Amino acid sequence: MSGHIQAAPIEKKFFTTGVKILIAIFGIGMAFGLYRFIFSLGSVTHLNDQYPWGLWIGVDVSSGVALAAGGFTTAALIHIFYRDKYAVIGRPAHLTAMLGYTFVAIGLLFDLGRWYNVWHPLLPTMWQGNSVLFEVGMCVMLYLTVLYIEFIPIVTERFIGHSPKWIDAILKFLDRIFNKIMWIFIILGVLLSCLHQSSLGNLMVIAPYKMHPLWYTRVMPLLFLTSAIAVGLPMVMFESIWASWSFKRKPEMDVLSPLSKVAAVIIAIYFFMRIIDLTIREAWGFAFEGSLQSNMFFLEFVVGLVIPLIMLLFEKVRRSPKLLFIASALYILFGVLLNRVNVFFIAYQPQYAEKQYVPAIGEFAVTIGLIAALILLYRIIVSIFPILPAHEKQA
Amino acid sequence: MDLNRRNFLKFTVATGTMGAASAVQKVKASTPKPDSGDWAGVLLDTTVCIGCRKCEWACKNINKLPTEPIESYEDKSVFKKMRRPSAGAYTVVNQFENPKSPEKPYYVKYQCMQCIDAACVSACIVGALKKDAKTGAVIYDPWKCIGCRYCMVACPFQIPAYEYDNALTPQVRKSTFCYQRLSKYQGRPACVEICPVQAMTYGKRSELIEIARQKIRTYPDRYVDHIYGEHELGGTAWLYLSGKPMTEMGMKKFGERPIPTYTEPVQHGIFKHFVPQISLFALLGGIMWLFKKRDEVEGKREGGEE
Ligand code: SF4
Ligand code: SF4
Ligand code: SF4
């Protein structure tokens, strides 16, 4: 993929303070995680019979899927719409998606009561086509496979000419084959993404009597898909600027500025969809009830949607790495991540619940630990494989 | 990137038309549900129930759940709090005021309603929850279950409970309708059998509805004119007769539309012969090919990839 741009492994010191902190956070998270596997879900989480899903499903799984959308949006942009100038961000976006989905799968294991049965949906005897969750599961699994296949050319590029002759021959052979058929996987990846991003939104449609009207709508699948497409580009901008800062390079503003224009358009579409949906369903009244739900709605809608959208309308914001970073971060964290959290457990209001579910410390620890692990792996992989652009390598 | 243009274009056009053609039929698709006319049910007359809670004991006993001796169930102090079925108790009885005669409160027993078109069955990712074809009971297979708890999210009655404290083999727990004992209509659920005042009648659901209607007609002062469970969410095996609306006694007001019809049409739209998928694949491929060609014409790019 994205072969036109010269990319190269990063050659920087690995064990910085930041990396050490990440390792510590990861360690703490895994301690809680281990505790959960030995002493049960109930010993670490605040989940109960009223709230069967919590932080792990809301963040590790569904937000993870949403935030990894950078992979398929850039793939579509670069390879399907042939916007070559964006090729430079293709590989980092692909790597994030690959790692993101890997961690979605790992995060899911923590949440499943019988995690060792996670492969059951693969058995045709257990296929359950009526289940929305089945579709989400299958698509995520297939997409993860596709993401790994798409990574092969990066591996071959790294090792061709750096390995013994016979391995070299195999790699070259692989490279040639994948060059020919990669387009199939690229389209397949985009297709599978569209499918599961939207069916993720269909998951809660099955609970019409439990969901708060500010979020419950039959078009949730469409809203999820649009917001996922819309989060892909800010995610890429966010990462790219962050990576530039932490490796002390100049941010790729010549690519990111035009990209932010595309992002603004898609976010605007999502914004209007939300407005129209809330208006048609006459749900605005609920926004002012002063409850936890209405406050969270405002946080999501104003901080996560209106503010970043307005920011992105200004040329000045689109040209400044710092402001662009802030606008992207707001939309990512409050517009999409908070939306998933809201849908999966703030909007979920079981009638017999005695008190609102609030995640336990252990749940936070595991989630943050997994995020730390993801960043660490990203850091390791970019120093082994040619992912980030090669120019200004030793800046 | 080498794709044989002519073949590719053919493929694109062919699948695209196919998709459009079947899109029309696809919209209406939904699962035909098995005929429920013959399924079993229980008619529970809450005006007869005396709140002895013997059914709670019988249920634990038959399901081998830990329980105190049956005498301890005479303790009325449990009624101070509204209780819900849990992993350790598939059925519980709650007490409610009786406006007609305050000295004789109403009692309501709760358990899995054995919905005819059950949300939990539709939700389960691996089919661990299934309708028993003979009785209509919703039965659970722990060996299939992956523990995702989506069934709990889906159940509108908030019935399935989970063994959160079991580290290795946690199960989804809910009333089984005693389906092993039922074998058609010979046996009766343990809770029905033990009831000293026969507040519950076990039988063919369609016949129970007739009995219930008859009762309402004969004693219009005793009952509200509504059989809870007859139409709620497409109907449930458990049917309730009551002296005041069930919605004032721990049950929620529901429409008639079965929960699975909210998600299943979308699911079937998506899965029907994979036509939408194939069409979208073709569409994306078509766009890819078009843009690539345009780029070549403009001379921006030689060859394909790399
Ligand atoms: S039908 Fe059986 S399992 Fe269900 S509440 Fe009655 S005794 Fe318990
Ligand atoms: S009451 Fe809930 S658990 Fe029981 S059959 Fe209906 S949906 Fe399933
Ligand atoms: S927890 Fe088990 S029974 Fe419930 S939906 Fe998941 S796999 Fe099915």
Nearest to B291 among A53, A81, A133 (CB): A81
Nearest-CA residue for atom 6 of ligand 1: B191
Residue A157 binned pLDDT confidence (cut-offs 50, 70, 90) = confident
Q: Which residues of A touch B163 (CB under 8 A)?
A: 113
Which of A1-10, A60-69, B65-74 bottoms out in mean pLDDT, i.e. has the lowest? A1-10
Is 60 exceeded by the pLDDT of residue A181?
Answer: yes
Using a CB–CB cutoff of 8 Å, tell me whether A15 touches chain B.
no
Give the pLDDT of residue B183: 67
* Site from A187, A195, A216, A351 to mutate, B interface, most B CB atoms within 10 angstroms: A187
Cβ–Cβ of B158/A351 closer than 8 Å? yes
Q: Does A339 touch chain B (CB under 8 A)?
A: no
Atom number, ligand 3, closest to the C-alpha of residue B154: 5
Interface test with A, best of B1, B141, B153 (most A CBs within 10 A): B153
Ligand 2 contacts (CB < 6 A) are: B 112-115, 118-120, 138, 155, 157, 159-160, 174
Alpha helices in chain A (DSSP H): 17-39, 41-44, 55, 64-67, 70-75, 87-111, 132-159, 165-202, 220-246, 253-280, 292-298, 307-312, 315-319, 321-330, 338-341, 361-384
Q: How many residue contacts between A and B have a Cβ separation below 8 Å?
A: 191
Task: Give pLDDT, residue A395.
Answer: 37
Closest residue CA from atom 4 of ligand 2: B112
Q: Which helix (H) or strand (E) holds B161?
A: strand B161-162
C-alpha A38 – ligand 3 centre gap (Å): 21
Q: What string of DSSP letters covers B189-233?
A: -HHHHH-TT--EEEEEHHHHHHHHHHHHHH-TTTS-S--BTTSGG
- Provide the angle, in degrees to the nearest 10, between the axes of the packed helices B260-271 and A165-202: 140
By CB neighbour count within 10 A (0-12 exposed, 13-18 middle, 19+ buried), where does B113 fall? Answer: buried
| A 160-199 near B (Cβ less than 8 A) | 179-180, 182-183, 186-188, 190-191, 194-195, 199
Identify the pLDDT of residue A307. Answer: 96
Q: Which of B126, B154, B262 sits opposite A121 (nearest CB)?
A: B126
From chain B, the residues in CB contact with A114 under 8 A are: 145-147, 169-170
CB contact under 8 A, B292 and A3: no
What is the distance between the alpha carbons of residues B75 and B84, in angstroms, rounded to a whole number?
Answer: 17
Q: Which residue has the higher pLDDT, A178 or A362?
A: A362
DSSP 3-state percent helix, strand, coil across chain B (nearest 5): 40, 15, 50
Of B167, B260, B267, the CB nearest to A37: B167
Nearest by CB to residue B86, choosing from A49, A82, A84, is A49
Whether residue B1 and residue A179 make contact (CB cut-off 8 A), yes or no, is yes
Q: Looking at A170-184, A289-303, A307-321, B230-244, which range is the least confident one? A: A170-184
DSSP track, B5-40:
HHHHHHHHHHHHHHHHHHHHHHTT--PPPPP-TT-E
Higher per-residue confidence, B28 vs A318: A318
Ligand nearest to the CA of B154: 2
Report the C-alpha dihedral over residues A305, A311, A313, A317, rounded to 10 degrees.
Answer: -140
Choose between B31 and A325: higher pLDDT. A325
Close Cβ partners of A44 (under 8 Å, ≥ 6 residues apart) = A32, A35, A36, A360, A362, A363, A366
**CA of B138, closest atom in ligand 2:** 5
Q: Which residue has the higher pLDDT, A174 or A325?
A: A325
With beta carbons under 8 A apart, name residues in chain B contacting A85: none
Interface contact flag, B146 A114, Cβ < 8 Å? yes
Residue pair A113/B149 in contact (Cβ under 8 Å)? The answer is: yes
Please list every residue in chain B whose beta carbon sits closer than 8 Å to the beta carbon of residue A42.
Answer: 164-165
Separation between Cα atoms, residue A308 and residue A298, nearest integer Å: 14
Digit-by-digit pLDDT tens for chain B (306 residues) are: 444 444 444 444 444 444 444 433 333 334 445 556 688 999 999 999 999 999 999 999 999 999 989 988 988 899 999 999 999 999 999 999 999 889 999 999 999 999 999 999 999 999 999 998 888 999 999 999 999 999 999 999 999 999 999 999 999 999 999 988 876 556 899 999 999 999 999 999 999 999 999 999 999 999 999 999 999 999 999 999 999 999 999 999 999 999 999 988 776 655 555 667 777 777 777 777 777 767 666 654 444 443
- Ligand 3, CB within 6 Å, residue ranges: B 123-126, 128-129, 145-151, 172
Q: Cα(A21)–Cα(A28) distance, rounded to whole angstroms?
A: 11
pLDDT at A205 > cutoff 80:
yes
Ligand nearest the Cα of residue B129 is 3
Contacts of A186 in chain B (CB under 8 A): 288
Residue nearest to atom 6 of ligand 2 (CA): B115
Torsions phi, psi of B95, nearest 5? Answer: -110, 140
- For residue B142, the 8-state DSSP code is T
pLDDT given at position B25: 36
Place of tokens 């469970």: B229
| B178 CA: nearest ligand 1 atom | 2
Report which protein residue has its CA nearest ligand 2's atom 7. B155
Between B214 and A249, where is the model more confident? B214
Give backbone dihedrals phi and psi of B173, rounded to 5 degrees, phi first: -120, 130
What's the confidence (pLDDT) of residue B146?
A: 96
Q: Looking at residue B31, what is its pLDDT?
A: 45
> pTM for this structure?
0.88
Distance from CA of B203 to the nearest CA of A (A): 30
A6–B contact, CB cutoff 8 A = no
| Positive or negative torsion for Cα B131, B135, B138, B142 | negative
Lining ligand 1 with CB less than 6 A are B 58-59, 62-63, 90-91, 111, 175-178, 189-191
Chain A residue numbers touching B152 (CB-CB < 8 A)? 49, 52
Query: pLDDT higher for A156 or B199?
Result: B199
Helix (H, G, I), strand (E, B) or coil at B59: helix
Asked if B154 and A43 come within 8 Å (Cβ–Cβ), the reply is no
Nearest ligand 1 atom to the CA of B109 is 5
A183 and B1 in contact by Cβ < 8 A?
yes
Please report the pLDDT score of residue A23 as a whole number: 95
Q: Which of A206-215, A343-352, B271-280 has the lowest mean pLDDT?
A: B271-280
- Report whether pLDDT(A82) > 90: no
Residue A112 is nearest to which of B148, B158, B291, comparing CB atoms? Answer: B148
Nearest to B3 among A41, A183, A352 (CB): A183
**B190 CA: nearest ligand 1 atom:** 7
> What span, in angstroms and rounded, lies between the C-alpha atoms of A307 and A95?
29
Q: Is B234 left (phi over 0), alpha (psi -120 to 50) or beta?
A: left
pLDDT at B28: 36
Residue B14 is predicted with a pLDDT of 46
Phi, psi of B172 (to 5 degrees): -80, 130
Question: To 10 degrees, the CA torsion angle through A13, A18, A23, A25?
Answer: -170
Question: How high is the pLDDT of residue B299?
Answer: 53
Q: Residue B24: its pLDDT value, please?
A: 34
Q: Cβ of B122 and A3 within 8 Å? A: no
C-alpha R_g of chain B: 27
| ipTM (interface pTM) | 0.91
